[in-house]
Structure 1
């Protein structure tokens, strides 16, 4: 098979390991590199896309780029890139290379713009694109998601006995079991972080200005972020919930992040989502906004203005979800992990974005701006509830569509790639997927 990998900064370190395993099995390996500083070592079949000049960007305007690719782009949304013209330039280069190579399978993420472009090309050509990522629960497992969706490909297929499932659910509900991304088992040293900053800055001045902000822009963004967090905390209240009212919780998700920017499309604008929720609420309802503990650029002045509304309350960054959940009547989210936690604890929840379990439950999980008011009312009136076995179905589905293993990278989670048992699990998983495609 011809297998194509996409550079993604320090994730490339992991892709190189996978490529070495597959090469040993006789597969042809190809690469697409956007950031030249992370070109894989000793790779021959490698397209390193030249950084475009302003003139080259100006000359390429006849390539159609989808609204989804534009709307999820970090450069345009946060890094002060003025025009989407660079997307047309990269689209042409990527499409030409895929036409030339004709890979059977592509591995990558759905985070950076060159990955989103590749996904679009693969969809149109019928080439399978897989994005291996943690399935959040159960812990230490991951799934191969197709293209830019949360639809898993393959999996171990095995289901667990009910008593084991109940143990897993109890651990999640109690907070004893948390998703892998919440563990900081291998935080980089200050020297490693400084070296990373220098590396990215040097590459910025060489021409990589689409996934990387300028040092000045980064400084301004960090300063703005701190200002917004401080302002939020001044407006926030202690976790005192009025039990006599119908209480709705909206947990804000960190941005930029593929979890919401891609999987949450077209509901990625959280300010707009909050406004729609307020407009759909009943007269005596209260909306509690809970910030992400690691909030980034999703906090903005117009969102802070929502604190002036009588039906909106801000919670602090350190607020405990466990403390407030008993008094919350409904959770509304875009694509947050809390969706899974609500299903397992049978807490009413509505989700705007993609879900890995849309067709697995008797409970109607998804909502939209058009149906939101009716959906809230149906829950307020007790017309929508989970079936007795929905929580069991969820965990069994997650087990059957995932594999043992934790995916690491070359900076923040390198420890997982140094663990021999974990590496063996990862090898077996990738080889299982390849074998399934060859059958």
Structure 2
């Protein structure tokens, strides 16, 4: 199989190890690289896309012209505009013409990845985003381009006792997610050194012309300063849900992040979702908003203005833990946050709006719209309430659609580069290739 990888900054190092193993097994690999600082040492053919020349003024942003680019964080947050889209679109056409991939592997977050998705769609070439499962974290699946539609899977099933034991640990909060685990002193020091190293690479890339996925130092400082100022305003407004009050909980999701920006579509505008929840709820029900533990650009002026103007909005104390927030509220509504999975296992109560695997396997925990989620929380007393037994059932569904292996970037977790993990993930890719080849065989049933 001819496999084209899309560069994704720090995670490229991990996928380079996978690609090297695939190449050794006879596959032909290549790379489409937007940021040249991450092009060194990649196996196979490497296409480094040149930076565009200074572009003349272009027409105003038209979402209909670039529908997949609606969530481009560079344009939305980093003032990068959209004049460069045409240049990179042409670069991708040339790369696809030259390499003729049968499979494209990449994420669907950054602008150049979204353009790669668009090009693959035009040519009917399968594009998959390999993504770690949230529970369990030692498995991963292949999502079709910018969706959460998982493709294939090895069909694995846990022994029933093992599945139930795992679900019980999630319900009791004893199965901590990797990104939530605290590091020791040495671990924190190493992380700071790695952070300085990778930020240095990003800065030098900017000097060479990469101005589309990353803000400049001054803009970055201004953005972080605004977040701190807005968080201070949040503190001035925050309070718990008082005795006698009824409230629906909305835990905010970090932005920019693919989880809400891409998978959350068309509900990726979180303030709009909050307005819809308030409008759908009776006048005696309030909306309690919990900020993300590490707030970023979702902490917006629009959010604070909404909280000030709407008397039914409660901004919970920023330091409040999720179990305490859940205890004060009727239940939660999430678009595609991890809290939705945890509720299925029996940890809290939550309705998810954009989790296809929950919609398919646990319909009482899912809704098609924010309004339906409100109706379920208020009108169906059992909706959104899970248990270890139900969680074990969801775990088995996730196991069927996934493959063994841990996907991350080495900056976040060095464990992803362990030889045994690289072997597992590479084997998962090869199983994906087999599924694709069978689906494309004459007379095959694509389902």
How far does residue 210 in structure 1 lie from its aligned partner after superposition? 0.3
Alignment match, 1:209: 211
The 1:381/1:356 distance shift into structure 2, 3 A limit, reads closer
Alignment match, 2:237: 235
Matches within 5 A, 1:12-23: 12-23=12-23
Cα deviation, 1:6-26, whole Å, max 9, x if unaligned, reads 111111101111110110111
How far does residue 273 in structure 1 lie from its aligned partner after superposition? 1.3
Alignment match, 1:355: 356
The 1:393/1:42 distance shift into structure 2, 3 A limit, reads closer
Provide the aligned C-alpha RMSD in A.
2.6
Matches within 5 A, 1:242-261: 242=243, 244-261=244-261
SS at match of 2:425: helix
CA contact (8 A) 1:139 1:177 kept: no
Matches within 5 A, 1:75-114: 75-81=74-80, 83-114=81-112
How far does residue 400 in structure 1 lie from its aligned partner after superposition? 1.4
Alignment match, 1:381: 379
Q: Distance in 1 between matches of 2:320 and 2:99?
A: 51
Q: Distance in 2 between matches of 1:406 and 1:230?
A: 37
The 1:97/1:406 distance shift into structure 2, 3 A limit, reads same
Q: Distance in 1 between matches of 2:365 and 2:13?
A: 40
Matches within 5 A, 1:40-439: 40-41=40-41, 43=43, 45-55=45-55, 65-69=65-69, 71-81=70-80, 83-183=81-181, 188-238=190-240, 240-242=241-243, 244-308=244-308, 309-345=310-346, 348-363=349-364, 365-368=366-369, 372=371, 375-382=373-380, 385=383, 390-417=390-417, 419-439=418-438
TM-score (norm: length of structure 1): 0.90
Q: Distance in 2 between matches of 1:149 and 1:86?
A: 25
The 1:86/1:64 distance shift into structure 2, 3 A limit, reads farther
CA contact (8 A) 1:350 1:367 kept: no
Q: Which moved more, 1:273-282 or 1:315-324?
A: 315-324
The 1:327/1:121 distance shift into structure 2, 3 A limit, reads same
Q: Distance in 1 between matches of 2:381 and 2:410?
A: 49
How far does residue 342 in structure 1 lie from its aligned partner after superposition? 1.6
TM-score (norm: length of structure 2): 0.88
Q: Which moved more, 1:207-216 or 1:324-333?
A: 324-333
Q: Distance in 1 between matches of 2:191 and 2:358?
A: 38
How far does residue 354 in structure 1 lie from its aligned partner after superposition? 4.6
CA contact (8 A) 1:255 1:298 kept: yes
Cα deviation, 1:289-340, whole Å, max 9, x if unaligned, reads 0011011111012211333332111112321111232342231111101111
Alignment match, 1:10: 10
Q: Which moved more, 1:335-344 or 1:176-185?
A: 176-185
How far does residue 62 in structure 1 lie from its aligned partner after superposition? 12
CA contact (8 A) 1:253 1:298 kept: yes
Q: Which moved more, 1:300-309 or 1:122-131?
A: 300-309
How far does residue 254 in structure 1 lie from its aligned partner after superposition? 0.5
Q: Distance in 1 between matches of 2:373 and 2:25?
A: 51
How far does residue 265 in structure 1 lie from its aligned partner after superposition? 1.4
Q: Distance in 2 between matches of 1:42 and 1:338?
A: 37
How far does residue 44 in structure 1 lie from its aligned partner after superposition? 5.4
How far does residue 65 in structure 1 lie from its aligned partner after superposition? 4.3
Q: Distance in 1 between matches of 2:219 and 2:37?
A: 20
Q: Distance in 1 between matches of 2:251 and 2:365?
A: 20
The 1:391/1:415 distance shift into structure 2, 3 A limit, reads closer
Q: Distance in 1 between matches of 2:411 and 2:381?
A: 48
Q: Which moved more, 1:393-402 or 1:303-312?
A: 303-312
Q: Hey, which bits of structure 1, 4+ residues long, moved more than 4 A?
A: 56-59, 61-65, 184-188, 386-390
Q: Distance in 1 between matches of 2:146 and 2:368?
A: 20
How far does residue 281 in structure 1 lie from its aligned partner after superposition? 1.4
The 1:224/1:88 distance shift into structure 2, 3 A limit, reads same
Q: Distance in 2 between matches of 1:133 and 1:378?
A: 30
CA contact (8 A) 1:57 1:88 kept: no
Q: Distance in 1 between matches of 2:160 and 2:88?
A: 50
Cα deviation, 1:246-289, whole Å, max 9, x if unaligned, reads 32010000000000110011211111111121111111102110
Q: Distance in 2 between matches of 1:43 and 1:156?
A: 27
